[in-house]
Chains A and B, each alone.
Chain A
Amino acid sequence: MSEVIYMGEKNKKLSEKIEELSGEKITLCEQCGICTTSCPMADDMDITPAGIMRYSQIGDEKVVDSEAIWICASCFTCTVRCPRGIDLAKVAEALRELNLRKNVDHIDVNHLDEELNELPAIAVVSALRKFTS
């Protein structure tokens, strides 16, 4: 069964938001796929880097909820190779930011989860930084 994406205002808004946060013109992507096979983590991603660009152009919400944006190592290989000169690392960062704004993994410092205590201190600090705002 094919998934149909009904393009509406929310798609437009998401695309615009990604462009605003990343400062990159995502419509420039010509879908050559060079980013994907430059990416050292692409094999572990649920959406390929070129796919991330495509879904961003369409404004499909699933890109914000993807695993791929967290697997991105910010190594910038895609950025230095993109023939259209798009800084894909910035786009990924914008998507992570959008995901965080949903507050899905929000941590309340007053009620820390038990399992957090088992983590190394540095991971706790990192989690607090990311998920408390």
Chain B
Amino acid sequence: MKIGVYVCHCGGNISDAVDVEKVAEFASRQPDVAVVRSISHMCSESGQRAIIDDIQQYNLDKIVVSACSPQFQGETFKKAVAKAGLNPNMVVMANIREQSAWPHHDEPENATEKAKILTAMAIEDIRKKEPVEKVTLKMGKNVLVIGGGIAGIQASLDLANAGFNVYLVEKKPTIGGHMAQLSRTFPTEDCSSCILSPKMADVAEHPNIHLMTYSEVLEVNGSIGNFNVRILKKPKYVDEDKCTACNKCTEVCPVSVPDEFNLGMTMRKAIYLPSSTAVPHSHVLDEDACLGLKPLACGLCSQVCEADAINYDDMPQYINLKVDTIIVATGFDIFDAHLKPQYGYRKYRNVINALEMERIIVEMAEGHVIRPIGKDIAFIQCVGSRDAQVGNLYCSRICCMYATKLASLLKRMDPSREVYVFYTDLRAFGKGFEEYYRTAQELGVKFIRGRPGELAEDPESKKVVVRVEDTLTRKIIEKKFDLVVLSVGLVPGEGTVKIAEMLKLPRSADGFIKEAHPKFRPVDTPVEGIFVAGCAQGPKDIPDTVAQASAAAARAMSLMNKGEYEMSPIKAFVHEDLCDGCGLCVDKCPVDAIKVAGVAEINVAVCKGCGACISSCPRNAIDLRIFSNEEVMAQIDAALRDKKPGEKRIIMFADDMCTYTLADGVGTAKLKYNSNTYIIRVPSSSRVTPEMMVRAFEKGADGIFLGECEAAVSPYPDTLKVIEENVKKAREMLARAGIEEDRIQYSPFVTVMFKKFVALADKMLRMAEKYGDIPEEKRRRLGMEKVIYHE
């Protein structure tokens, strides 16, 4: 083994505080080190050239670069060693800039000592490192889109136009979703179904889209690149291709049931066209409403069908698909106003919800009066949103604007109407929204700041009495209205809840599907290869839904387009000779990547590489690539080597995503913390086993700190729980050896908690100083505790 060590000056950034020549001289005395250089700018063309030339000239097989953060220049040096023919894993960076020269810039001696140890840790790390092959998956071009609302339609069209194969599954007999039911869209007042229906038609005609309506996803197995999907296609009893939508069957059908498209305010027949713009444009026979199919009780529809499209023997079909990625666009349900009984929904004749108002206006425009609406109309905002009493703390985002729109439309239709909107905060945040609010005010819509506690019905006139405190004048106002419209909020649809459970997608506190990162991965779910679009992720308006759907389509394309997908090579693996198939690791895996078939097997497509499984294995049979037990142990040992009596050393395990980035940030800001803290980078601190912690104390550590991403931003679910358990076990071992338990600490971090980081680092040192040195015999006892623990 021949190692080359390169110490960077960083043009003074490092060399002003750290004596780089001393570090280089120290490195040259380390085992297996063949070449040592100190160079002004390692990342420059000439710096990289030096590495490449040395590899070729001296046959170096491993490289250590003592310079800046691997998060900053790691890729640069991986590429450089790859150019020289080495495996990209054959380079390790010692972060002597962000972790030494910068935070300890006013104590050059300590900074130099720490830089030496950081370099030694990197050298020991690389000595244990082995070449790691790329982990790639073959990717096809098949996408499953669940949900045929505007989100699913947009995502499907984008993907299909780009040449991908789309399976669009919709549980209703027609696509279009809620948007197809709306009157007009805010703030432009376009006719909703007029702008939507051409898109719906495009879906039906697109050669790359396989549309399955009246269908449900029953089961999804597998993982990215290989999802196996089982779909139930319910019988429509009408051949979509033959049906001409002539409506003769509907005319003769003797059965009437409430029409769900008009929210039950009108009736439809048992055989019916789901809506006037339905896609597929075909009638469907409602099995439950029909007088009887088995045996046939009526049969009138078949007699009049000239196209011979009706087939009473239609059966449910089960379809199995294999897809590479999935887009979840399962949408929302409106809040059930029954849950606010004080507003008398369905108890008082003249209290309706806003979606019903949409349908009334659409039907009115077509000349059908579903119900009288009268002159005086009130809207009540935030019904089911921002309400701790029903458990929905979130704002539904669209109600302010849809109420403004409906109020404006009502006012335009008949300016003599009195239209009131009772609100708490009017939120007009989007493009053109504030202007639209102003237009409504110009039309004479009255916005009153205050929400009623309850509604009452006038027993004679059946008008609805609204009593509200105008919180601006502090006066109670009372007025009778012909109609009260409840501006109901949005809740995760039944389908969204079901699909989230089926696909194991976590949901946020509001019940909607949680995105992988709230800022930078807003359409990814934590499950690789599954994306989310539209209101399944949270309440949003049509433009936001469409933007998100296109984003989800683009993200899916970026995974599939190359034909293969390169995953992070950091994956758990099993030493099959050690594994006895006990299965303890299975439950520890937060993403269900482990199965036991004789021995534990890891599904690399699912494994996220956190390492939470490792500590559960009683036989040390499970390990992590790139951050293996051996590599981490070697760094622990190097960090504690040649410790002088009285000297304090604290080991900090830093998860890559948050704590390590935070430590870099603290260094970059030149915030000072003690130089006794040595950071070891891990994907997640859950991979640090109790044994590792104990080993550190055995070797001379005075304290251990584990930093981990806060759950809300962590790429790995539930790792904090594993850390807690591991720390507990390690503390028990310390206690039995007579060492203070709280020398081990852990904390969640996000990348901006600069002050907390500095405070905790210094607290660890103060504690170590307070407790004093750990006597040698106690450290030795730890070795025995480890054996006991193992048995």
A residues with CB within 8 A of B: 30-39, 42-43, 47-48, 50-51, 54, 77-78, 80-85
Q: Chain B residues with Cβ under 8 A from A32's Cβ? A: 382, 424, 450-451, 471
Set A30, A51, A82, A85: member contacting B474, Cβ < 8 A: A51
**A39 and B388 contacting across the interface, CB-CB below 8 Å:** no
Q: Chain B residues with Cβ under 8 A from A83's Cβ? A: 382, 386-389
With A33-B469, A43-B476, A48-B474 known as contacts, the answer to whether A85 contacts B389 (CB < 8 A) is yes
With A33-B451, A37-B467, A37-B468 known as contacts, the answer to whether A82 contacts B476 (CB < 8 A) is no
Q: Chain A residues with Cβ under 8 A from B454's Cβ? A: 37-38
Q: Chain A residues with Cβ under 8 A from B342's Cβ? A: 38, 81
**A50 and B388 contacting across the interface, CB-CB below 8 Å:** no
B residues with CB within 8 A of A: 342, 382, 386-389, 424-425, 449-454, 467-471, 474, 476
- In angstroms, how far is the closest chain B Cβ from the Cβ of A23? 16
Q: Chain A residues with Cβ under 8 A from B453's Cβ? A: 33-39, 77-78, 81
Q: Which residue of A lies closest to B424 (CB)?
A: A32
Q: Chain A residues with Cβ under 8 A from B387's Cβ? A: 83
- Please report the C-alpha to C-alpha distance between residue A35 and residue B451 in the assembled complex, in whole angstroms: 9
**A33 and B471 contacting across the interface, CB-CB below 8 Å:** yes
Q: Chain B residues with Cβ under 8 A from A34's Cβ? A: 451-453
Set B388, B425, B468: member contacting A33, Cβ < 8 A: B468
**B388 and A85 contacting across the interface, CB-CB below 8 Å:** yes
**B389 and A80 contacting across the interface, CB-CB below 8 Å:** yes
**B476 and A48 contacting across the interface, CB-CB below 8 Å:** yes
- Please report the C-alpha to C-alpha distance between residue A51 and residue B387 in the assembled complex, in whole angstroms: 20
With A37-B454, A42-B476 known as contacts, the answer to whether A50 contacts B471 (CB < 8 A) is yes
Q: Chain B residues with Cβ under 8 A from A30's Cβ? A: 386, 424-425
- Please report the C-alpha to C-alpha distance between residue A8 and residue B369 in the assembled complex, in whole angstroms: 59
Q: Which residue of A lies closest to B386 (CB)?
A: A83
**Most A-side CB within 10 Å, residue of B425, B453, B467, B468:** B453
Q: Chain A residues with Cβ under 8 A from B424's Cβ? A: 30-33
With A30-B425, A42-B469, A77-B453 known, 8 other A-B pairs at CB within 8 A are A31-B449, A33-B449, A33-B470, A37-B469, A81-B342, A82-B389, A83-B387, A85-B388
Q: Which residue of B lies closest to A83 (CB)?
A: B387
- Please report the C-alpha to C-alpha distance between residue A42 and residue B454 in the assembled complex, in whole angstroms: 14
**Chain A interface, >50% SS class:** helix
- Please report the C-alpha to C-alpha distance between residue A35 and residue B453 in the assembled complex, in whole angstroms: 6
- Please report the C-alpha to C-alpha distance between residue A31 and residue B472 in the assembled complex, in whole angstroms: 9
**A48 and B388 contacting across the interface, CB-CB below 8 Å:** no
**A84 and B467 contacting across the interface, CB-CB below 8 Å:** no
13 pairs of residues in contact across A and B, judged by CB atoms under 8 Å:
A32-B382, A32-B450, A33-B450, A33-B451, A33-B468, A33-B471, A34-B451, A37-B469, A48-B469, A50-B469, A80-B389, A83-B388, A83-B389
**Most B-side CB within 10 Å, residue of A30, A33, A34:** A33
- In angstroms, how far is the closest chain B Cβ from the Cβ of A24? 13
- Please report the C-alpha to C-alpha distance between residue A81 and residue B452 in the assembled complex, in whole angstroms: 11
- In angstroms, how far is the closest chain A Cβ from the Cβ of B559? 42
Q: Chain A residues with Cβ under 8 A from B386's Cβ? A: 30, 83
Q: Which residue of A lies closest to B455 (CB)?
A: A37
- Please report the C-alpha to C-alpha distance between residue A30 and residue B395 in the assembled complex, in whole angstroms: 13
Q: Chain B residues with Cβ under 8 A from A84's Cβ? A: 388
**A36 and B476 contacting across the interface, CB-CB below 8 Å:** yes
- Please report the C-alpha to C-alpha distance between residue A83 and residue B471 in the assembled complex, in whole angstroms: 16
With A37-B454, A48-B474 known as contacts, the answer to whether A82 contacts B469 (CB < 8 A) is no
- Please report the C-alpha to C-alpha distance between residue A39 and residue B452 in the assembled complex, in whole angstroms: 11
Q: Chain B residues with Cβ under 8 A from A50's Cβ? A: 450, 469, 471, 474
- In angstroms, how far is the closest chain B Cβ from the Cβ of A94? 20
Q: Chain B residues with Cβ under 8 A from A54's Cβ? A: 471
- Nearest first, the 5 A-B pairs at minimum CB distance are A38-B453, A85-B388, A33-B469, A33-B450, A36-B469
Q: Chain A residues with Cβ under 8 A from B388's Cβ? A: 82-85
- Please report the C-alpha to C-alpha distance between residue A66 and residue B476 in the assembled complex, in whole angstroms: 18
- Please report the C-alpha to C-alpha distance between residue A74 and residue B786 in the assembled complex, in whole angstroms: 62
- Please report the C-alpha to C-alpha distance between residue A77 and residue B342 in the assembled complex, in whole angstroms: 11
- Please report the C-alpha to C-alpha distance between residue A54 and residue B474 in the assembled complex, in whole angstroms: 10
Q: Chain B residues with Cβ under 8 A from A48's Cβ? A: 469, 474, 476
- In angstroms, how far is the closest chain A Cβ from the Cβ of B378? 13
- In angstroms, how far is the closest chain B Cβ from the Cβ of A104? 25
- In angstroms, how far is the closest chain B Cβ from the Cβ of A97? 24
- Please report the C-alpha to C-alpha distance between residue A33 and residue B467 in the assembled complex, in whole angstroms: 10
- In angstroms, how far is the closest chain B Cβ from the Cβ of A21? 22
- Please report the C-alpha to C-alpha distance between residue A47 and residue B471 in the assembled complex, in whole angstroms: 11
- Please report the C-alpha to C-alpha distance between residue A29 and residue B342 in the assembled complex, in whole angstroms: 20
Q: Chain B residues with Cβ under 8 A from A42's Cβ? A: 469, 476
Q: Which residue of B lies closest to A48 (CB)?
A: B469
Q: Chain A residues with Cβ under 8 A from B476's Cβ? A: 36-37, 42-43, 48
- Please report the C-alpha to C-alpha distance between residue A84 and residue B424 in the assembled complex, in whole angstroms: 12
- In angstroms, how far is the closest chain A Cβ from the Cβ of B388? 4
- In angstroms, how far is the closest chain A Cβ from the Cβ of B379? 14
- Please report the C-alpha to C-alpha distance between residue A78 and residue B453 in the assembled complex, in whole angstroms: 8
- In angstroms, how far is the closest chain B Cβ from the Cβ of A51? 5
- Please report the C-alpha to C-alpha distance between residue A48 and residue B450 in the assembled complex, in whole angstroms: 12
**Most A-side CB within 10 Å, residue of B342, B386, B388, B451:** B451
- Please report the C-alpha to C-alpha distance between residue A33 and residue B454 in the assembled complex, in whole angstroms: 11
- Please report the C-alpha to C-alpha distance between residue A78 and residue B468 in the assembled complex, in whole angstroms: 14
- In angstroms, how far is the closest chain A Cβ from the Cβ of B380? 10
Q: Chain A residues with Cβ under 8 A from B452's Cβ? A: 33-34, 37
Q: Chain B residues with Cβ under 8 A from A81's Cβ? A: 342, 389, 453
- In angstroms, how far is the closest chain B Cβ from the Cβ of A20? 22
- In angstroms, how far is the closest chain A Cβ from the Cβ of B341? 11
Q: Chain B residues with Cβ under 8 A from A85's Cβ? A: 388-389
Q: Chain A residues with Cβ under 8 A from B469's Cβ? A: 33, 36-37, 42, 48, 50
- Please report the C-alpha to C-alpha distance between residue A50 and residue B453 in the assembled complex, in whole angstroms: 11
- In angstroms, how far is the closest chain B Cβ from the Cβ of A113? 36
- In angstroms, how far is the closest chain B Cβ from the Cβ of A32? 4
- In angstroms, how far is the closest chain A Cβ from the Cβ of B385? 9
- In angstroms, how far is the closest chain B Cβ from the Cβ of A93? 20
Q: Chain A residues with Cβ under 8 A from B468's Cβ? A: 33, 37
- In angstroms, how far is the closest chain B Cβ from the Cβ of A112? 40
Q: Which residue of A lies closest to B467 (CB)?
A: A37
- Please report the C-alpha to C-alpha distance between residue A125 and residue B551 in the assembled complex, in whole angstroms: 72
Q: Which residue of B lies closest to A42 (CB)?
A: B476
Q: Chain A residues with Cβ under 8 A from B471's Cβ? A: 31-33, 50, 54
- In angstroms, how far is the closest chain B Cβ from the Cβ of A65? 17
- Please report the C-alpha to C-alpha distance between residue A86 and residue B387 in the assembled complex, in whole angstroms: 11
Q: Chain A residues with Cβ under 8 A from B474's Cβ? A: 47-48, 50-51
Q: Which residue of B lies closest to A53 (CB)?
A: B471
- Please report the C-alpha to C-alpha distance between residue A48 and residue B454 in the assembled complex, in whole angstroms: 16
Q: Which residue of A lies closest to B477 (CB)?
A: A37
Q: Chain B residues with Cβ under 8 A from A38's Cβ? A: 342, 453-454
Q: Which residue of A lies closest to B475 (CB)?
A: A48
Q: Chain A residues with Cβ under 8 A from B389's Cβ? A: 80-83, 85
- Please report the C-alpha to C-alpha distance between residue A10 and residue B266 in the assembled complex, in whole angstroms: 61
- Please report the C-alpha to C-alpha distance between residue A35 and residue B471 in the assembled complex, in whole angstroms: 11
- In angstroms, how far is the closest chain A Cβ from the Cβ of B386? 6
